[in-house]
Structure 1
Amino acid sequence: MSSNARTRVTLLGSTGSIGTQGLQVVSAHPERFTVAAISGGSNHRLLAQQAAHYTPPLVAAATGTVEELTGAIAAAAREAGTTDYVPEVLVGPDAATEVAGRPSDVVLNGITGAIGLRPTLAALGSGARLALANKESLIIGGPIVREAAAPGQIVPVDSEHSAIAQALRSGRREEVRKLVVTASGGPFRGMSRAELREVTPEAALVHPNFAMGRVITTNSATLVNKGLELIEAHLLFDVPMDRIEAVVHPQQIIHSMVEFHDGAVVAQLGLPTMLAPIALGLSWPDRLADVETPVDWTQAADWRFEPLNHEAFPAVRLAQQVGEAGGTHPAVYNAANEVAVDAFHDGACGFLDIVGTISEVVSRHDDANFDAHTVEGVLAADEWARAEAAAVLAG
């Protein structure tokens, strides 16, 4: 790509929270970016509207038919006045993987869940920089993803890991003593384990700072999300699990910190939104201008830190054990959680049963039966864990 060429961006999960904000960044910097491809799920109407607005040459969806999506794009193009726009259209469960492997400079993987693994590997195989918001693909496919990635090819988009990546610029790798990942504490911060027994699905979906999808919002309520983030930090930055910890910071102004061996701690601060880490993922290592409103230093503010209550929220400690075990244990942790979250929202189990199910499935897992260095082995462990979680929940 020449110095004057615009960066070609592919967005996977373009109709979700990360994808729509990624397009917002692209819109704000048309001189810097062009959209090479977008891929979404079942929301054909929004996907078609995005396609008509950004006119990428390739559009894909996980569900429906080519005819349905083509028709939706044609209708959206007529509304937008871009009737001469006729992209290549792909539909099906492998469409996102196909899109991720096509020529692009940056692939933003904003897909939620384990289904993001193959697209992540396809993006890495294409040579594009991977702006990774789909933490599950790294967590379940850790050894495979790390082997597939060239040095510096993955740029984290999770706000916590983006913060760590920024803070790590302040020192050499051998000077790092500890990574500190901050957590809001979720909507049930301060509640006892007994009180958590009565939590409803509706209450679990009310995050104090972010508007997110059902799975990740529930994961934030159980703190499973924080457990997954500790594993992700271990895999991204090659820091041992026993040197990564979580601390509750309700305001989420400090997104995470790096402690160096001289005792200095470097933190990255910003409002609790995703725009800045998404923009940095697209433009790394450069910073784009005026992405987010900075902290207002003329206003008084109190920023609080609290130790994590492991008795009420055992998901983080369990994740630390899983991360230490390695292999396919993280894949099992993630898969069992996804099944349990669905069961909770379907009224088939209680809030505490989510982590209880994960713990039981992890305890039954024999890593020797699965090959963590092949996609087939990882997905077999994922499938086993989902079946085992369903059995545990069925009683």
Structure 2
Amino acid sequence: MNAMTRRIAVGTVAVSIALTMAACGKAGDKKDSSSSGGDSKNKSIGLLLPENATTRYEKFDKPLIEAKIKELCSDCTVSYDNAGADPAKQAQQVNTMITKGVKVLILDAQDSVGIQSSVEAAVAKGIKVVAYDRLAQGPISAYVSYDNEKIGELQGQSLLDAMGADAKPTSKIVMIDGDPADPNAAMFKAGAHKVLDGKVDIAYEQTGLWKDTVANQKVTAAITQLGKANIKGVYSANDGMAGGIATALKGAGMHVPLTGQDAELAGIQRILTDQQAATIYKAYKPEADATAEIAVDLLEGKDFKSIADTTVKSGSGQTVPAHLIPATPVTKANIKDTVIKDKLYTVAQICTAEFQAACKAAGIQ
């Protein structure tokens, strides 16, 4: 090989090595992006909600969170999915978000305990996880929800108020709690017991799994077991289940106080027609806005502690910065001053043809 040939060969090898190193560098860059760390141009946020049987998630939480993120960060993108009440599906959705390379994940856990390994996997890839509405276990960066034990207390007190003279230690009531996989359900239950224990006789208590059909079945069983004349009130942990319970009570020819939660449109309409005594209004916009602000701050590496103004301890032992929002009981007397005033629903949405007479009687026109 002459000198000229050797120079060409060496040059060719050098170019080949340089191209290989450049290709490796790009592959490494792609890996960093997918692991959600170090890519300043990546402004992707994941949003995972737990189920769609409760109307709030698709109708309020999702659009409110997305709108606030877009307001705060015009070039941010939001990837969304709903678990449809399936914990295994939500775990797979977390994996998909990891693969997509989101930098922040807003997670409303369907199963707060079972999702821990998925949270750990996301955090291991550099993703910041914000627990929304329900406190997932694992290394969570922040948590936004309501004072859920206080909500249980409000529910319990609303039931006692509606029972009036029947609120006495010998009066039997039925309690239909939420899904045990949801940590909020345990807090609602604890708060309700704090108020109800000793004031009434909780003669039958079961979980309704946040499903109207299950709640209907459980209350039907309670009526059979206790006798319809002996039941003086029913605690339902949310409005979705209260719908199934109201159907069971009506089928048995019963009219007793029934509570709920979430201020669902159907729940408000049941209150107007005296099929439900009260619900709990949790303003969704403050919760959604605070969550979006924290998510964008985490994305941009900013301090979010002015929003997360307290801390909570998760079931896995982590102390998590938190923001907790107060809630308000709603009865027929204050529908105008709560859900209508805050524009959760319009009068037209509430007072359809079927409910016009009830609205007029309540002064809602």
Do Structure 1 and Structure 2 share a fold, with TM-score over 0.5? no
CA radius of gyration, larger in: 2
The TM-score range, normalised by the shorter chain, is under 0.3
